[in-house]
Structure 1
Amino acid sequence: MTTPISSAMAFEWVKIRTVRATVWSLVSYFLATVAVAVLTGYYLRGAARDAEALKTFDPVAAGFSGLRLGLIALVVFGVLIVTQEYASGTIRTSLAAVPRRGVFYGAKLLTGAVTALVVSTLVVTVGFLATQLVMGDARNVSVLDDGVPRCLLGAVLYTTLLCVFAMGLASVLRSSALTMGILVPLFFMISTILNSIPGVRDVAQFLPDVAGGLILYRDPPDDTVLNAWTGLAVLAAWAAAAVIAGYLATRRRDA
């Protein structure tokens, strides 16, 4: 028996797979991540193998090197599945088909999150294995090595939660340009700069991408008050806050 939420999710899935921009953003997520992963593996394979360098080298974190670029496409995906209907005016048709706004919003969020989860599982696994394979035996690790399964699981959750955060914020702002104008510089430039400034780092580590990104390290940096799982919890809190704000905006504003 179908329920309103399952029917609405089926409706959202049709929109995701039939809109060219959302499909290509997911394809770009895969291609960019794997391409950078392979290039990183080749670079590390050709790097000097001195003992001192190997002491500080983290082959697990290196396996996620492609995610930083690929995540731009995943953030774009999360933003577009929310804002494209407002930009095109089809939001009125969607709300006419699913008049209960809580069901409409929940279905959109769940469909986007599940899609991001499934695609991220593939992207994270392939990207990680590609880097390890190309690096060669001198530096690589196995997926069964200590700490690796936790990092792989955490990387999938990290990317999915960032996508959910993007969807929540997009629901508040309702503008592709404005939402991506905030998130892309924040995630891929500003947070990195702030996290490298000694006097600001203690606060910057609580930014969503920085906090959640600690899960990508087998041994997180010593100069942070967060660890892998508490950092992911901070990201989850940011995502939950964005989702709640998006829900309130969807319920209270006109289409």
Structure 2
Amino acid sequence: MIDTLFRDPGIPDGEKCVYTVAVAQGPPALDLVGVIDHDGHGYRSTIRAGSGDGDFTITVEQRFQRTGDRLRAATYRAETRSGATVVSREEANFLGTAHLQIGDGVAPFPADLMPLAGGLTLLRGLEFIEGAEENIALWLAFSVHIPLSTKVEQRTVVEVPAGRIDCWQIRLRPRLSGLNSLLEKMLGGFLPPVVAHVEAAPPHRLIRVDFPTGPMPWDPRGSMELVS
């Protein structure tokens, strides 16, 4: 059995979470709905996001395998449409496979792999203790994944459309270990972080995410907030 850092948060069958996504404190630009169903030894997640006028929609289907009290990303399917036209499709099978890994040749995916959209599920499985830090392989596309550090910073109350909710605040940023120490310090302060708030009470719903829309500190920030 391959161990992984993500714990099973005990998500109920059929859980539905509705979010709004906005940029620079503007009006909501996207609506996002996530549904999680039990699927044998794991979960099946379906995420649908759209602009509301039908001009843009994206559907992401993911499976997460449960082994004991732990979770791993198993499969990923995504389709983006502009109106009725398919813009892109991507698919990945992470378990029991080998792929061309940058810098490692043909090799299996890392055990602690998290697709970007998989954060709505897998971040709920972190250890919520103040100061706890973990390293995650954030999967972007094809076999491209980057090291990501997570740190549980503090417990705080967050106000979103769904109400005032007691949360753990988590900071995520690219991990730059292995660089020259001075360069790592400079870049670490320059790359914008992602700040997530996860409900303190099980099953630890993702409540709010504050994220950069570009790589520079002056790029506007975006936010995703729980509505219901």
Calculate the TM-score normalised by the size of structure 1: 0.24
Which structure's CA Rg is the greater one? 1
More helix by share: 1
More strand by share: 2
Q: Which has the higher contact order (CA 8 A, sep 6+)?
A: 1
